Every structure is written in structure tokens, then in C-alpha cells.
Amino acid sequence: MKIGVISDTHRYIGDATSLVNSLGNVNLIIHLGDNIEDVEILSSVYKGKIINVRGNCDFSKQTPSELIENIGGKRFFITHGNRYDVKYDLAKLRYRALELEADIVLFGHTHISQIEYIDGIWFINPGSPTLPRNGVRSIAVIGIDGDKVVPVIKKI
């Protein structure tokens, strides 16, 4: 199974076809918030399932701020990350992931891509494909094959 992960598009999604194509052949797309309106644009191009959460710049109460999803035999904790001070460190997010018994944590908010493996948990931030803080536009793709998890940051 392959999962595409996008965050922090902030209504600057531009060429959605190009963005979806940069993910490659994925079974699922997850958008981590800021802005959830961009999910509608993505869904006009990508006909598969899209899961999304709201970020700190999203105001729809109908969209959850966090989700727990079982995907490919792994327990995912999906959040924008702003409630866990991820711009400083992963400590609060790590504690929450341990409480939830997550295998994989997906978060955004920093606009900087990151992959960490801490306490047996993958922490994956795809960065931003439109407004990166470090000048590198990026997304993430996660491959899952049984127990094997292969997260990759793709510069676009």
C-alpha cells in the first residue's frame, strides 16, 4: 500500500494535477490541514479516497482536528500538530502517540519536512508543497508492506 501525504497548502494549491501526479500511484491521500478547501480541488483530480483533518487556519467544525485510522495494518494518528507545539519539539506529540498506541503519526504545521523514528513510532511531516519555510517544496509518500514501513519525503 502507498499513501500520499500533503499538508499546509494554504489555498495556493495551483496545478492540482501536477501535485497529485508528484505523489505517484498512491492508494490514498491524507491532507493534514491548512486549508481544507484544497481537499475539494484535490478530489476533482484524484478519484481515490482522501482523508483530511483541519489545521489552525481552518474553521470548519465539521472536519475533525485529529483522527485515528487503521490503514494497511498500522494505527495512524493524524493531526495538524499545532496543539502539540511541534514547532519546538515532538515531546507532546510523542506522549500523545504513546497514549494512543500509534504506529505512525502524521503532522504538519511547521512547513518543514521531517521523518523521525522514536520509541517504535514513525513521526512524519510532509512539509509544504506551496509555502515551505526552508525553501524546499515537499510532500511525503509512505509505503506499507506487512510490518515494513518506508516513509519518503519527495521534493517537488
The pLDDT tens digits for 33-86 are 998 889 999 999 999 999 999 988 888 788 999 999 999 999 999 999 999 999
Return the sign of the alpha-carbon dihedral for residues 146, 150, 151, 154: negative
pLDDT interval class at 13 (50, 70, 90): confident
Coil, strand or helix at 47: coil
- What integer pLDDT is reported at residue 142 of this predicted model? 99
Question: Looking at residues 93-106, what average pLDDT do you find?
Answer: 98
- What integer pLDDT is reported at residue 68 of this predicted model? 99
pLDDT interval class at 11 (50, 70, 90): confident
- What integer pLDDT is reported at residue 59 of this predicted model? 85
Domains for the chain: give ranges and CATH numbers.
2-155 (3.60.21.10)
Res. 107: pLDDT tops 90: yes
% the chain with pLDDT above 90: 82
Res. 10: pLDDT tops 90: no
Strands (E), the chain: 2-6, 28-31, 49-52, 66-71, 74-79, 104-106, 114-118, 121-125, 138-145, 148-155
Cell of 25: 500511484
pLDDT in tens, 14-42: 778 899 999 999 999 999 999 888 999 99
Q: What is the pTM of this model?
A: 0.96
The mean pLDDT of the chain is: 95
